A and B are shown apart, each in its own frame.
Chain A
């Protein structure tokens, strides 16, 4: 099955992004495809390369980037949500790209399922 994923929370206040990451990794391991992950609301903070969790904590920004690179997942950060939160090209983790909300709608159209992770 082909999945699109929507992540609506940042990496720390809520578990949503962790759950989304684990869902994506598990789906891929089972032979499914994850074509795109769209980051919206505070979810755009998952792309902030300046984020420095403590060394004994998981680093979701890096984990998403690695998963995306290894499995050719399109990691898209919403431009409108990103700009108001100060997420711009200069702080964007490698592997993510900034684009419009149309990419979310497209993910809904082109995938068998769009799975939403939020609060």
Chain B
């Protein structure tokens, strides 16, 4: 190492996975999970975000919340890319069960089958599910 190079301790980089299981409205879990992901992105960790079960509705295009008086926060998912959160997984089975396809989603995602998702999940250090 050259003297002008700063010596740094080993940076801890852990694999964090955030699992969204619920519809965007009806409960606050989806919104508050998104808030965590956006903060977590600033920590230089290996972040992935997963959408399964009704959680995939969070990414549905053309959401209209005027009838329920809630803020439509679906466009905020587009910010994930700006925050360098690039690993976004959607479970294939959940998508198919709900008659949806990748084209129905507001952001590009990686569609993965449940058994593949299970493998990815097993590789994580921290899994936060809501």
Interface positions of B from 82 to 130, Cβ below 8 Å from A:
125-130
Cβ of B1 under 8 Å from chain A = no
Known: A104-B36, A105-B39. A6 touches B28 (CB 8 A): no
Interface residues of B (CB under 8 A from A): 12, 14, 16, 28-29, 32, 35-36, 39-40, 42-43, 45, 125-130
Interface residues of A (CB under 8 A from B): 6, 8, 40-41, 80-81, 100-102, 104-106, 108-110, 114, 116, 118
CA distance A102 to B43 in the complex (A): 8
Q: Report B-chain residues with C-beta under 8 Å of the C-beta of A104.
A: 36, 40
| A8 with B36: CB separation less than 8 A | no
Q: Report A-chain residues with C-beta under 8 Å of the C-beta of B29.
A: 41
Q: Report A-chain residues with C-beta under 8 Å of the C-beta of B127.
A: 116
Judged by DSSP, the binding face of B is mixed
Judged by DSSP, the binding face of A is helix
Contact of B128 among A6, A81, A109, A110 (CB under 8 A): A6
CA distance A110 to B70 in the complex (A): 36
Given contacts A100-B39, A101-B35, A105-B36, 13 further A-B contacts (CB under 8 A): A41-B28, A41-B29, A41-B130, A80-B32, A101-B40, A105-B45, A108-B14, A108-B16, A108-B45, A108-B128, A109-B14, A110-B12, A114-B128
Q: Report A-chain residues with C-beta under 8 Å of the C-beta of B45.
A: 105, 108-109
Least CB separation from A42: chain B residue = B28
